[in-house]
C-alpha cells in the first residue's frame, strides 16, 4: 500500500516505472517526472488499463475512490474505460451545445427568410441582450428563471416591446434545439405569462379630423426644415409608412405621375414576397399630394433622394426627423409619424364602412385570411383614387398650399 509521502517523494529514473498501491491501482512515473494514476483490470477476458489522472492534481485518496468506482462499474458488467470515454464525449457535446452556439446555427439557417435589415436586428439583439447573460450555458441546462432574468433586464430599461421580441427569438432557438435533438424544453415559452404587460397605444395617434388638421397647421407654423414639413404633409395625405417616405428616391415620383408605385422590395412584407412585382404598392396621388411633391421637387429635385438628410444629400432623412418636428409642434406623446395611418383608417372607416377592404388595401395591410391574401390581387384602383382624393380634401381643408411652406422660417 502506498502512502502520501511515498507518492510525493517518488523520483524519475532513466526508464518509466510503477508504484503499486493495490486492487489494480498503481502510479506510473515517466522519465520526465510525470506521475499518472492508472487502474489495471480484466474485462471480457482481456487486460485493460484505465487512466485516472495526474498526481498531484489527483491525490492518493481520490485515486483510490476512482479505482473503487471503476470496480463498481465492472460489477455492473460495463467497461470502465468505455464509460469514461462516453462521459467525456457527452461532456464535450454538452459544452459545445451552448445557447449561443445553437442560436448562431439557428440564425444562419433562418436568415434566408428575412431582409438584411431584419436579420441584422435579430442578431444584434441576441448579441446585446442574450448571449452575455446565458450564451455560455448548455442549452439543456437553462431554466425558466434564467430565461426570465434576460427579459427582466430589458424591461428594466423601459423596453417591454423589445423584451417580448427577445422572448420570441429565444423561444425559436429553444424549439430549434429540441427539433435537432439537443434540447428538451422551451423555457422562453414558459415565461410568456410572466413578462411585464406591453404599453398599449404606443403609436400615439389623433383620430379627430379637426384636431388632425390642426396638427398640420401647427407643424407648418413651427420653425423647422421645409423638407421635413413636406414629408409630414405627404405622410398625412398618403398614409404610407414613415420609413417608406424617408427612403423615397426621386425616380419613383416622376413629374406628371398620378400614381406612386412603391416597389414590393421597399414594403413591409416577408422576404420571399419582396421580389414579386405584383405586390408593388400603388398609391393614387391626390391633387394635394401632387402639389406637395412638386413643391418638394423645387428643393431636392436635383438629388437622388426626395427627402434627403440635411447634411448629406445622397443619404435619406432620418425617420426621427418627422417625430422631432411633431414634438416641437406640441404633439409629444400625442401623435407620432406612424399615427397618420391610424388617423386615416379611423376617419375613413367611420365615413365609408363598406369600403373597409379597399381602405386596408390603401394601407397595404395583409389580409387576415391567408387564402384571400394569396389569391385576391384585386387593386380596386378606381375606388382607391376616389377615396384618396376624398381624404385629401378632408385633411387639407383650411391648410396653406404646400408651396407656401418654402417661405416660412426654418429655425
Active-site residues: which are they?
Answer: 241, 268, 338, 341, 365, 375
Rounded Cα gap, residues 283 and 364, in angstroms: 10
For residue 403, count other CB atoms closer than 10 A to its CB: 14
Beta bridge partners of 262: 281
For residue 165, count other CB atoms closer than 10 A to its CB: 16
Would you say 19 and 26 are in contact if contact means Cβ atoms under 8 Å apart? yes
231 phi/psi in degrees, rounded to 5: -65, -45
Please enumerate in sequence order all residues whose Cβ is within 8 A of that of 207, keeping only pairs 6 or more positions apart, or say none.
342, 343, 346, 347
- SS3 (DSSP) at 53: strand
Rounded Cα gap, residues 37 and 25, in angstroms: 7
Rounded Cα gap, residues 60 and 37, in angstroms: 9
DSSP 308: B
Rounded Cα gap, residues 362 and 240, in angstroms: 8
Cell numbers 498501491 correspond to what residue? 21
- SS3 (DSSP) at 26: strand
- SS3 (DSSP) at 57: coil
293 phi/psi in degrees, rounded to 5: -65, -40
CA angle 389, 391, 392 (to 5 degrees): 65
C-alpha cell at 188: 422562453
Would you say 250 and 261 are in contact if contact means Cβ atoms under 8 Å apart? no
- SS3 (DSSP) at 38: strand
For residue 233, count other CB atoms closer than 10 A to its CB: 26
Question: Using CA atoms in the order 11, 14, 15, 21, what is the torsion angle rounded to 10 degrees?
Answer: -10
Would you say 216 and 395 are in contact if contact means Cβ atoms under 8 Å apart? yes
Amino acid at each position: 500500500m502506498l502512502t502520501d509521502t511515498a507518492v510525493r517523494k517518488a523520483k524519475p529514473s532513466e526508464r518509466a516505472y510503477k508504484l503499486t498501491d493495490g486492487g489494480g491501482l498503481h502510479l506510473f512515473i515517466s522519465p520526465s517526472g510525470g506521475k499518472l494514476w492508472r487502474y489495471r483490470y480484466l474485462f471480457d477476458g482481456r487486460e485493460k488499463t484505465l487512466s485516472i489522472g495526474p498526481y498531484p492534481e489527483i491525490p492518493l485518496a481520490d485515486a483510490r475512490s476512482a479505482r473503487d468506482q471503476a470496480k463498481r462499474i465492472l460489477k455492473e458488467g460495463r467497461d470502465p474505460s468505455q464509460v469514461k470515454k462516453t462521459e467525456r464525449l457527452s461532456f464535450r457535446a454538452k459544452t459545445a451545445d451552448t445557447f449561443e452556439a445553437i442560436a448562431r446555427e439557428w440564425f444562419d439557417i433562418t436568415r434566408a427568410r428575412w431582409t438584411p435589415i431584419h436579420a441584422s436586428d435579430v442578431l444584434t439583439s441576441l448579441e446585446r441582450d442574450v448571449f452575455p447573460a446565458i450564451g455560455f450555458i448548455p442549452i439543456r441546462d437553462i431554466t425558466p428563471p434564467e430565461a426570465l432574468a434576460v427579459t427582466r433586464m430589458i424591461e428594466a430599461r423601459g423596453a417591454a416591446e423589445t423584451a417580448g421580441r427577445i422572448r420570441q427569438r429565444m423561444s425559436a432557438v429553444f424549439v430549434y434545439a429540441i427539433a435537432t435533438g439537443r434540447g428538451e424544453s422551451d423555457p422562453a415559452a414558459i415565461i410568456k405569462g410572466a413578462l411585464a404587460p406591453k404599453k398599449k397605444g404606443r403609436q400615439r395617434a389623433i383620430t379627430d379630423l379637426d384636431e388632425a388638421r390642426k396638427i398640420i397647421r401647427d407643424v407648418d407654423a413651427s420653425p423647422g426644415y421645409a423638407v421635413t414639413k413636406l414629408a409630414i404633409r405627404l405622410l398625412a395625405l398618403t398614409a404610407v409608412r414613415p420609413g417608406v417616405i424617408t427612403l423615397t428616391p426621386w425616380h419613383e415620383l416622376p413629374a406628371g405621375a398620378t400614381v406612386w408605385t412603391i416597389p414590393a422590395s421597399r414594403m413591409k412584407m416577408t422576404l420571399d414576397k419582396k421580389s414579386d412585382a405584383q405586390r408593388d404598392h400603388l398609391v393614387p396621388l391626390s391633387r394635394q399630394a401632387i402639389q406637395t411633391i412638386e413643391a418638394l421637387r423645387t428643393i431636392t429635385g436635383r438629388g437622388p433622394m426626395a427627402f434627403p438628410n440635411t447634411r448629406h444629400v445622397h443619404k435619406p432623412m432620418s425617420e426621427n426627423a418627422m417625430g422631432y418636428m411633431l414634438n416641437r409642434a406640441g404633439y409629444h406623446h400625442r401623435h407620432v409619424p406612424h399615427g397618420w395611418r391610424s388617423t386615416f383608417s379611423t376617419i375613413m372607416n367611420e365615413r365609408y364602412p363598406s369600403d373597409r377592404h379597399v381602405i386596408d388595401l390603401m394601407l397595404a395591410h395583409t389580409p387576415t385570411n391567408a387564402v384571400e391574401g394569396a389569391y385576391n390581387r384585386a387593386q380596386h384602383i378606381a375606388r382607391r383614387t376616389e377615396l384618396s382624393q376624398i381624404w385629401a380634401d378632408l385633411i387639407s381643408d383650411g391648410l396653406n398650399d404646400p408651396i407656401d411652406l418654402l417661405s416660412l422660417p426654418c429655425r
